[in-house]
């Protein structure tokens, strides 16, 4: 049986005890865990350790970290993904997190229906992301943010910058640099001509994914899968 995993956002230290509130730990109750059972604790920044449940109460969980803490390298390649905000962005967060994206940003574009930045949504997305990593076994949780397209593009500092453009002659399989990539996916109606010009001005290159016709909510997992496969070929 696989050891249950728990996300703990603070620093992990060997031979220490951590206290977690019962909120968000309902899955542990379903597994009927009890004192003495082992659990895997990860902090979302690559650190992970095996702990033993010392006390499992109604409102808290006390875990004793009595094994070595390991530090995993950051997931490679580094992929910073910007996706136009859509109604079902929860799916984008879940899929992208399970695929090991480095950061994910919900983008406000000219064709985005909802153009107000909402902190409560970002908080929920971060919760979804940590749960997805808990389930998938990843020890690095992506940074989830929300901002306007222009600001995200201006903050880009990687040399490899791309935006999806079905009219582009450059196929995603033609990418050869995978150390760090900034990639932006627009709404189903595409970016406006002004936004495309702005991205090009900021050194973003248009790429296409072939003749695939895919909804925005499903495009991230398709693109990330392609990039992961391509990156492995260049290792």
Listed residue (73, 140, 134) closest to 104, CA to CA: 140
Assign 232 a pLDDT band (cuts: 50, 70, 90): confident
Looking at domain 5-71, what is its CATH homologous superfamily? Hypothetical PUA domain-like; domain 1 (2.40.240.20)
Least confident range of 14-28, 42-56, 128-142: 14-28
Could you give the dihedral angle defined by the CA atoms of residues 206, 159, 143 and 98, in that order, rounded to the nearest 10 degrees?
A: 60
pLDDT, tens digit (0-9, with 9 covering 90-100), for 165-224? 989 999 998 888 878 999 999 988 889 999 999 999 999 999 998 887 788 889 999 999
The pLDDT of residue 164 = 94
Could you say which of 3.40.50.10860, 1.25.40.80, 2.40.50.100, 3.40.1280.10 is the CATH number of the domain covering 78-233? 3.40.1280.10
What's the CA gap between 226 and 223, in Å, rounded? 5
Average pLDDT on 19-24 reads: 68
SS3 235: coil
Q: Is 167 exposed, middle or buried (0-12, 13-18, 19+ CB in 10 A)?
A: exposed
For residue 139, the model assigns a pLDDT of 96
Distance CA 147, CA 106 (A): 6
Domain ranges of the chain: 5-71, 78-233
Question: Long-range contacts for 33-37 (Cβ within 8 Å, ≥24 apart)?
Answer: 33/4
The span from the CA of 61 to the CA of 211, in Å, is: 50
Q: What is the pTM of this model?
A: 0.90
Which two tokens mark 113? 């229906």
Confidence of residue 130 (pLDDT cuts 50, 70, 90): very high
Q: Could you tell me the pLDDT band of residue 133, with boundaries at 50, 70 and 90?
A: very high
Q: What is the pLDDT of residues 86-103, one digit of tens each?
A: 888 999 999 999 999 999
């Amino acid at each position: 049986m696989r050891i249950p995993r728990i996300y703990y956002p603070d620093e992990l230290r060997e031979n220490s005890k951590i206290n977690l509130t019962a909120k968000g730990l309902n899955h542990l109750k379903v597994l009927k865990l009890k004192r003495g059972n082992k659990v895997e604790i990860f902090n979302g920044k690559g650190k992970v350790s095996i702990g033993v449940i010392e006390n499992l109460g109604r409102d808290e969980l006390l875990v004793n970290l009595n094994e070595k803490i390991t530090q995993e390298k950051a997931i490679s390649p580094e992929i910073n993904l910007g996706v136009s905000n859509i109604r079902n962005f929860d799916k984008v967060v879940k899929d992208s997190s399970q695929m090991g994206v480095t950061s994910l940003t919900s983008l406000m574009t000219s064709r985005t229906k909802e153009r107000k930045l909402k902190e409560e949504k970002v908080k929920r997305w971060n919760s979804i992301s940590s749960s997805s990593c808990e389930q998938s076994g990843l020890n690095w949780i992506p940074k989830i943010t929300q901002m306007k397209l222009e600001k995200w593009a201006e903050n880009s500092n990687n040399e490899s910058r791309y935006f999806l453009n079905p009219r582009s002659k450059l196929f995603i399989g033609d990418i050869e640099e995978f150390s760090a990539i900034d990639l932006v996916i627009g709404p189903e109606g595409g970016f406006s001509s002004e936004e495309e010009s702005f991205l090009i001005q900021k050194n973003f290159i248009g790429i296409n994914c072939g003749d695939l016709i895919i909804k925005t909510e499903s495009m991230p997992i398709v693109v990330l899968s392609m990039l992961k496969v391509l990156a492995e070929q260049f290792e």
